[in-house]
Amino acid sequence: MASKKRAKPGKRPTTSRRYPNPTIELLCERASVRDFKAKKIPARVLGHILEAGIHSATGGNLQPYSIVKVESPATKAKLAEMCTQAFIGRAPVDLLFCIDWRRNERWARLDAAPFTATQSFRHFWISMQDAVICAQSIETAAASFGIGSCYVGTVLDLVPKVRRLLRLPRGVFPVVLLCLGYPKTRPEPRAKLGSGTVVHDERYRDLPGAELRRAFDAKYAAFKLEPTPLFLERLERVCRNVGGAPLARKALARVKRTGRIAPAQHRFGLHYVADGMPLGNERFLELMEQAGFGWFRKYKAK
Ligand SMILES: Cc1cc2nc3c(=O)[nH]c(=O)nc-3n(C[C@H](O)[C@H](O)[C@H](O)COP(=O)(O)O)c2cc1C
């Protein structure tokens, strides 16, 4: 089935789109959904979605992840409150994807096999990939039933609370939440950098500056943020903390010249604040160790 779509201004370029098959259409038309109908997802449908996701590729076919399926209104409300994102509570199903080496460790014990996966960065890295690959298959499988979804990464800022709420034992570490539900309204797909920017032929190549600028300008064509005194003061402070007075001066001069805060200034200066993000590093390692993951410590064989 090929179809033609017209994207609305501010979301994606208004070129008409033709798709060679329904899967490509599903993938290219997807958008995060945060506005859900009260309608439940039938157990049979959810079962198909979960089975399809679990069939994803996984390093060594080890499946070192678990999914905590949350449908209880009380638990969803707690998650929503903790993450300060109300749509989590309104989604009929919330899925928490976790790295899970506990199950494999127990299996290893049953078979009298040696086990060090929680002490290995390599294993950690692959298991994170496995969890996310499964989550994304579930997103797509859900979309094939007309079910919308939205990831929530905020769980990473709430590891102890999430572990307590959902009783995650040692060896299990939360990665991301995926909220599922039938969309009340269907959002327009968001503009993305295209394959001309993201895909490199045969070897990595930096785009020339002007091309890079065009690509980001096209992606953020609809972005507008008034330079209020509060925003400017915050931007100035973050720039100063990261790049000293020269960066702060340059950032404010740019705002003055263009009359607006640039999208990258917003992303890294006001939203994912560049001076704050790395400060969480040590805390994350602490939380990881509490959950039984000590891969960043020097390994000592017994
Ligand atoms: C790892 C990850 C974490 C995310 N966390 C949140 C979140 O906490 N809250 C939210 O509303 N959206 C969250 N999102 C959704 C993104 O905001 C969304 O994917 C992005 O803006 C692009 O929009 P699109 O999904 O409609 O293409 C997250 C997405 C990913 C992949």
What is the spatial distance between Cα 104 and Cα 298, in angstroms, rounded to a whole number? 22
The closest-lying atom of ligand 1 relative to the alpha carbon of residue 176 is 1
* 151 strand-pairing partners: 178
Separate counts of helices (H) and strands (E) for the chain:
12, 6
What is the spatial distance between Cα 289 and Cα 118, in angstroms, rounded to a whole number? 10
Helix (H, G, I), strand (E, B), or coil: what is residue 112? coil
- Is residue 257 classed exposed, middle or buried when 0-12, 13-18 and 19+ CB atoms within 10 A define those classes? exposed
Q: What is the largest CA-CA distance in the chain?
A: 68
User: Which helix (H) or strand (E) is 137 found in, with range?
Assistant: helix 121-144
Q: Is the CB of 191 under 6 A from ligand 1?
A: no
Alpha carbon of 150 to ligand 1 centroid (Å): 6
Sign of the CA dihedral running 96, 100, 103, 106: negative
Q: How many residues does the chain have?
A: 302
The number of angstroms, rounded, from the C-alpha of 98 to the middle of its chain's C-alpha atoms is: 13
Would you write out the chain's pLDDT as a tens digit for each of its 302 residues? 333 443 343 467 655 689 999 999 999 999 999 999 999 999 999 999 999 999 999 999 999 999 999 999 999 999 999 999 999 999 999 999 999 999 999 999 999 999 999 999 999 999 999 999 999 999 999 999 999 999 999 999 999 999 999 999 999 999 999 999 999 999 999 999 999 999 999 999 999 999 999 999 999 999 999 999 999 999 999 999 999 999 999 999 999 999 999 999 999 999 999 999 999 999 999 999 999 999 999 998 88
Q: Is the CB of 136 under 6 A from ligand 1?
A: no
Alpha carbon of 111 to ligand 1 centroid (Å): 41
Alpha carbon of 87 to ligand 1 centroid (Å): 13
What is the spatial distance between Cα 17 and Cα 24, in angstroms, rounded to a whole number? 11
256-282 pLDDT, tens digit each: 999 999 999 999 999 999 999 999 999
What's residue 109's pLDDT?
98
Q: Are 170 and 105 in contact (CB under 8 A)?
A: no
- Tokens 């201004």, residue located: 9
Helix-helix angle 121-144:22-29, to 10 degrees: 110
Q: Are 250 and 235 in contact (CB under 8 A)?
A: no
Q: Are 155 and 164 in contact (CB under 8 A)?
A: no
Other CB atoms within a 10 A radius of the CB of residue 265 amount to: 22
Contacts of 263 (CB under 8 A, 6+ apart): 216, 219, 220, 223
What's residue 13's pLDDT?
60
Alpha carbon of 44 to ligand 1 centroid (Å): 27
* 66 strand-pairing partners: 98
**Of 36, 150, 179, 190, which is best to mutate to test ligand 1, by the most ligand atoms within 8 angstroms of its C-beta?**
150
pTM above 0.85, yes or no: yes
Q: Is the CB of 241 under 6 A from ligand 1?
A: no
User: Which amino acid residue places its CA nearest to atom 20 of ligand 1?
Assistant: 32
What's residue 245's pLDDT?
98
Alpha carbon of 186 to ligand 1 centroid (Å): 15
